[in-house]
Structure 1
């Protein structure tokens, strides 16, 4: 059986050039704007015109031109194979490779033996190594989100179960942040398994998958906004001397839950009004995505400012014992701001440092104003280490690794796979990192857990002792004659 290139048919040379040849700019435009359905519709229209103008030859047997949903195939002599470039607008296909379609000796297109439908062979279009790598990246996302989900559920259960012992504004914010993480992670797993990994669901394009898309993005935006609330609170506690805890939590609830609802509703309304962007369960990129990404980017940039200013205050306040401001403090006591800075650097609750429950600023240190040079150097280095530690702790909490990471490379560009792997690890395991830093490794939480374990052990010991006494009292008494 011979192989013939579709472009060798002079009668169809124009349409082949129009359908398959494309520039790099056009390819990037298709990917960035999500215009895949438009491209497929245009190819179909061109192919229908080709089929309408086709005149069957009486001298030689041909398979007629046809459109298979992705490519337009030219009329091909019986017993030959028609080849065409792989569609560049299908994710995972290599446009440098060739697909093929068999014209049988009877002048009909080959039918697949299992489905008995006319079949085009696109299996050669897939870069198997690339496909396996991308599937491995998806598996990283699934594993990361699943592990993070379990850790976050346990963390939230601990914070809620010991809410009487863990009473402070920062813990309240943590609970809301953990809740947003939990719902966001669960929604992503549900979205991938129920929609993204189900081609028939994408083709059906029903209202249910669109609602799921909107909910997924709502909780994603809410997650970012609660990270913003964490940064805003830490910055406010460290900079502002007095703060009304009750009123600030009302604002945080508005920022963390209500504002994302308004943003997401606006996005859903705008996107629904653009017909060409309502296909495939809204999986494709949309021009209206900026409605979501704009506020999220603004929140991350603001958190970046908070981080810089927090570190600046930390360095300044932790150096306070070696400065005039420290020596000028009455009786050698450090200022409440310096103590709050040190508590924050140690990962503790800075809101307790200035006695906010009763407005009293406690005396926290009795260090004298004088000291040796070596002691001052040691204190300075210790303060710097604490500032660095606080920075590393705050990065995942504020979601700033997205700012630190480079912008997404183009598909197929050098470093794109490495970026995808790093992004998958940072994104999916962020919840696990936050759960460990602010629950499992939190000094307050560990103290409460240890206290509860001791109480439980003591109660169990008393219960066992009482049970032994009861059992002894129930034993029959025997006497010897």
Structure 2
């Protein structure tokens, strides 16, 4: 008996995984397994040939399912189908890959254990990286339920994917040479896809906006911090507090940029360069991203509590100077840098014990998120109350000293108000009661835009108002102070 069998892995080299139109055209079909069998003159039965084909398939399935191509299938499926923010979070990718592995293993069990069809030719059972196909009689169409690993499976659970078995016992192919497969019932609706594409573009625009804002803030804050620390004339408790506020804003900007870089590297389009998806999705590989996430939460909290420190200092100067010693600097250090540790550590512990997934960027249980959210809301509310009290004091003093210049004191009050808003972080109060659970639709987009815009450019405004526009930091005065120091 002479039987020749070739196991071929047909990978389409022309498929560009970054081209959405090509991906839609090929329906994610990056690899197709096929068999070619020819019979000798000894009259080997179709059943024996099919059994041999099955044996060859099982022996070669490890090579066919190599990890690099696993990545191509899953990543291509998600990058072009899901919004950027979901992919970057890692949650969708991680969950989809886990379910895909489960689906693949169940398919292999079926291939190994399901009895062969009896009598004549049939198209072989196979797993084409998308769906699992059983042995099919020639000249028939087989319908398989949409794979359960699809992120949008709930929308297409009643749909089917089809293949057609030719009369010669070979799966039919289309004009491009690929095995024909009808996946239309398992794809997302076009209206949903267009909405997600719009949302994806919106998220990209938001990210560009706050990246520019944090970069600009980072540059101006670093320069302002150098100025405050370089000239002895500027060394006082007030400017020390300003300097720590600048530093907290610098660290916040850096942590956000580093966190985004880690997310992009670990779960963004950079994952196309990875070769081992299991290693990529392991807890060890996510450590760097999680550290960046923890540092960002610490810096955000420190930033808010240095705003709180600024508010307390100004309140003590204008209102409670009799009761508070303004020359003591250590309490402000403990408040600004120590308080965040009290809340970040429990949050890290809860993440490790209860939500130790991907980059810790997704809050499945919002109760744990309140460990971070509550101290921020508390500081923002106290800052707002102090802000209103200080405005009341400023208003009374301006009225007393400007009885004949009513319009003038009104203008000065407006100037003082606008100056204090970025220093105290008062803009946070706008959406303080509009939590993530309550905001949906257009309101959520508005909240995200204003939050990202104001938070990213806040450092720039603070640096300009309290350093570059400060009369104490005038170039002429700094020149004189530097000359005095040299003398």
Instruction: Please say whether Structure 1 and Structure 2 have the same fold, judged by a TM-score greater than 0.5.
Output: yes
**Counterpart of 1:158?**
227
> 2:296 corresponds to which residue?
216
Paired position in structure 1 for 2:381: 301
> Retained in 1: the 8 A contact 2:233–2:481?
no
TM-score w.r.t. the length of structure 2 is: 0.61
**In structure 1, which of residues 184, 188, 205 is the aligned counterpart of residue 283 of structure 2?**
205
What pairs with 1:208-247 in structure 2 (closer than 5 Å)?
A: 208-242=288-322, 243-247=324-328
Name the CA shift for 1:76/1:148 in 2 (closer, same or farther; >3 Å).
farther
User: How far is 1:233 from its partner?
Assistant: 1.0
- Once the two structures are superposed, the pairs formed by residues 416-455 of structure 1 within 5 Å of their partners are 416-446=444-474, 449-453=475-479
- The Cα of 1:384 is off from its aligned counterpart by 2.6
Match of 2:342 among 262, 270, 277: 262
- How many aligned positions are there? 359
- Deviations 1:227-286, CA, capped at 9 Å, x for gaps: 110111111211113342232x21111010111122211211122111xx1111212115
Following the alignment from structure 1 to structure 2, what is the Cα–Cα distance between the partners of residues 432 and 99? 53
CA distance in 2, matches of 1:214, 1:401: 24
Paired residue secondary structure (1:279): coil
Q: Which residue of 2 aligns with 1:346?
A: none
Determine which of 274, 284, 288 is the counterpart of 2:362: 284
Mark the CA change 1:386 to 1:194 in structure 2 (over 3 Å): closer, same or farther.
Answer: same
Query: Is the 2:427–2:454 contact (alpha carbons within 8 Å) kept by the matching residues of 1?
Result: yes
Report if the CA contact (8 A) 1:152-1:182 is conserved: yes
Q: Does the aligned pair in 1 maintain the 2:213–2:456 contact within 8 Å?
A: yes
Q: Deviations over 1:40-89 (max 9, x none)?
A: 86897699779868967949748668986xxx878797878979599896
Equivalent in 351, 361, 370 of residue 271 of structure 1? 351
Sort the Cα spacing of 1:38 and 1:83 in 2 relative to 1 into closer, same or farther, 3 A. Answer: closer
| Change beyond 3 A, Cα 1:204–1:230 | same
1:91-128 CA-to-partner distances (Å, cap 9, x unmatched) read xx996999997757545999x99xxxxx9988975733
Q: CA deviation at 1:432?
A: 0.6
**Structure 1 unaligned spans of 5+:** 1-29, 114-118, 322-374, 459-481
The alpha carbon displacement at 1:137 in A equals: 1.3
Per-residue Cα deviation, 1:182-210 (whole angstroms, up to 9, x for no partner): 11111111111123453149723323332
Instruction: Report if aligned partners of 1:148, 1:430 keep a CA contact under 8 Å in 2.
Output: yes
Q: Aligned pair 1:381/2:407, yes or no?
A: yes
2:202 maps to 1:136 = no
Report SS of the residue matched to 1:245. coil
RMSD over aligned CA atoms reads 4.7
Change (3 A) 1:308 1:130: same
TM-score in terms of structure 1 length: 0.61
Distance 1:133 1:150 in 2: 26
